[in-house]
Amino acid sequence: MASEPVRANMPPLSLHVPEPKFRPGDPVDFADVDVPPAGSARRPDTAEPAGRFTELAYTLVRVLDEEGGAVGPWDPKLSPDRLREMLRAMALTRAFDERMFRAQRQGKTSFYMKSTGEEAVSVAAAFAMDRDDMCFPSYRQQGILISRGYPLVEMMNQIYSNSGDKLGGKQLPIMYSAKDHGFFSISGNLATQYPQAVGWAMASAVKGDSRIAATWCGEGSTAEGDFHSACTFASVYRAPVVMNVVNNQWAISSFSGFAGAEATTFAARAVGYGIAGLRVDGNDALAVYAATQWAAERARTNQGPTLIEHFTYRAEGHSTSDDPSAYRSAGEPNAWPLGDPIRRLRDHLIALGEWDEERHERQDKELAAHVRDCQKEAEKNGILGHGLHQPLDSLFDGVFEDMPWHLREQRQMMLDEEEASGRPWARK
C-alpha cells in the first residue's frame, strides 16, 4: 500500500523510548524524587469510598521521620516488643539472604534472589495480617515465611533441591510453597499470582469465611495482562484482597519507566479501577504495617480491595544471574533517599530508648550463627548437583490425581532403561 503524504504543517510522529537517568559511571542525584514529610498524609476511615481519597495514590504514606520518631495519623503505635520482633525478622531475612547468596556462589545451588533493601515490604505486611490470611507472593517475599516462623532448614532444603525438599526438587530454587503457613506456591511466570489471589479471596467471600488474601508483584509485572484481569475482578466483585506492587525501580535490566513510571504512579492504577489506592514509603516498616493493617480491615469489612504501591529500591542484583553494574550507576543504592529499612527501624527503637547499637550488633551475630547452623543441617540432606536426591520415578508424581495411562507407560519405559543401564539409583 502506498504511504500517505506527510502533512507539511504537522511534525512527523515519533515514539518515546524510556531511558533511566543514571547509567554506569554516572553521578547520582535523586533530588527530583518527591519525599513528603513523614506524617503529612491523611488516614481515611476504612469505610470511606475509594473515590474520596485518590490523592493518596500520588503521595507517600510515611510514619518514620529523619530523627527516628513515629509521627502522623498512620502511626500504628506498636509496642516496643512488637517492634523488636519485626526488626529481628527483617534482620533474619537479610542474614538468610547473605548466606544463601554465598551458597549459590559456592555452587551449592543454581539460583537465588535477595530482598536486600526490601525487607520491610514483606515482613511488616506479614506482621500486620492475620496468620491464617493467604499470601500469594512473588519471588522476593521470603520475609513472609520467615515472619511466620517457617523453618529455615525447610527453605534451604527447597533451595538445594535435596532429599528433604518437600517439593521433590520440582521447583526452581526460592519458589517455596507452604500451605500450612498461608504461603501459596511461587511461580516464575510473572503476575499469575494476582488472579489466583483475587479468585481465592472471592471464594473466601462466597463461603462466608473471614480470611482475606494478599498478593505481591513487581512494578514491571503491572504491564502483564494477569494484573489487569485481577484488578477488574477485584473491583467488580469487591474481593477481600490486598494487592501489593513493589516498585523497586528496576526489573532485571530495565527501569520502571518501561512499565509506566514516567507517566504516573503505580498506585494510580487503582484510581482507574475504582478501588482504594495507597502509595507507601516501602522502606518505612511502620508505614507498610499501617497501610497493610488499614487495607486488611477494609477487606475484612467488605469495603473491597486495596492496591498498595511500595516505593522502595532494589539494592542489589535482580538475582544471582544478574549484574546490575552493567546497566545502572553503582552510586544508586547508597544515594536512595528513603534509606535502609532495617537501619530506620533500628534507629526508631533507639530513639525510643528500647534498643542500642550493642544489642543490634549482638543480634546480627546471633542471627548469622543461627542461619549458619541451619545451613549445616540442611546440607546433610544434600546440595544441588551432588547426585539424585529424589526417587527417579517421582518425576511423574504430583501432576495428576490419577496418573493417566500414557504417563504410566513413559515412567515404566524410563525405569526399564535405567535398570538396563546398571545405574543403582533408578528406584532410590
Question: What pLDDT is attached to residue 16?
Answer: 95
Q: Is the pLDDT of residue 8 over 90?
A: no
Polymer length in residues for the chain: 428
Nine-digit cell string for 398: 504430583
SS3 state of residue 176: coil
| pLDDT greater than 50 at residue 250 | yes
> Quick one: cell of 211?
480470611
Q: Is residue 13 domain-resident?
A: no
DSSP character for 64? B
Is 279 within 8 Å of 211 (Cβ atoms)? no
Identify whether residues 83 and 197 lie together within a single domain: yes
Residue 406's domain spans which residues? 392-427
In a domain, 159, yes or no: yes
117 & 138 share domain: yes
Q: Give the type of residue at 428.
A: K
Pair 213, 341 in one domain = yes
Grid coordinates of 63: 510514619
Number of structural domains (the chain) is 2
Q: Are residues 369 and 247 in the same domain?
A: yes
Give residue-wise pLDDT tens across range 394-419: 888 888 999 999 999 999 999 898 88
Range 2-10 average pLDDT: 74
Sheet strand arrangement including 134-136: 134-136, 213-218, 241-247, 306-311, 276-281
What mean pLDDT do residues 139-152 have? Answer: 98
> Is the pLDDT score of 428 beyond 60?
no
Side chain identity at residue 152, one-letter code: L
Q: What is the pTM of this model?
A: 0.94
For the residues 199-215, what does the mean pLDDT come to? Answer: 98
User: 4 lies in a domain?
Assistant: no
Residue 5 has pLDDT above 70, yes or no: no
Q: Are residues 258 and 362 in the same domain?
A: yes
Q: What is the CA radius of gyration of the chain?
A: 24
The C-alpha atoms of residue 234 and residue 396 are separated, in whole angstroms, by 36
Residues 216 and 322 in one domain: yes
pLDDT, tens digit, 9 for 90 and up, residues 312-352 = 999 999 999 999 999 999 999 999 999 999 999 999 999 99
Average pLDDT estimate for 139-161:
98
Q: Which residues of 254-275 are buried (b: 16+ CB within 10 A; e: fewer)?
A: ebbbbbbbeeebbbbbbbebeb
CA dist., res. 336 & res. 340, Å (int): 9
Residue 251 has pLDDT above 60, yes or no: yes
Q: Looking at the structure, tell me whether residues 205 and 231 fall in a common domain.
A: yes
pLDDT value of position 426: 46
Contacts of 211 (CB under 8 A, 6+ apart): 130, 132, 133, 134, 204
Q: With CA atoms as reference, report the closest residue to 310 among 288, 326, 333, 332.
A: 288
pLDDT above 70 coverage of the chain, percent:
97
Local confidence band at 424 (pLDDT 50, 70, 90 cut-offs): low
The residue-averaged pLDDT of 200-219 equals 98
Q: Which domain CATH number covers 179?
A: 3.40.50.970
> What average pLDDT does the chain have?
95
Q: Where are the alpha helices (DSSP H) in 282-356?
A: 285-300, 332-335, 341-351
Q: Give mean pLDDT, residues 268-277.
A: 98
Are 148 and 177 within one domain? yes
pLDDT band, very low/low/confident/very high, at 59 (cuts 50, 70, 90): very high
Q: Could you tell me if residue 23 is inside a domain?
A: no
Distances (CA, A) of 218 to 285, 290, 323: 18, 20, 18
Which of helix, strand or coil describes residue 134?
strand
Q: Which of 263-272, 371-380, 393-402 has the least mean pLDDT?
A: 393-402
Report d(CA 278, CA 257) in Å as an integer: 20
How much is the pLDDT for 394?
Answer: 87
- Which ranges of 319-380 would DSSP assign to H, the alpha helix? 332-335, 341-351, 357-379
Q: State what percent of residues in the chain have pLDDT above 90.
A: 89
pLDDT for 390 equals: 86
Kind and range of the H or E run holding 246:
strand 241-247
Residue 188 CB neighbours (<10 A): 11
| Cα 225 from Cα 372, distance rounded (Å) | 41
What per-residue confidence (pLDDT) applies to 398? Answer: 84
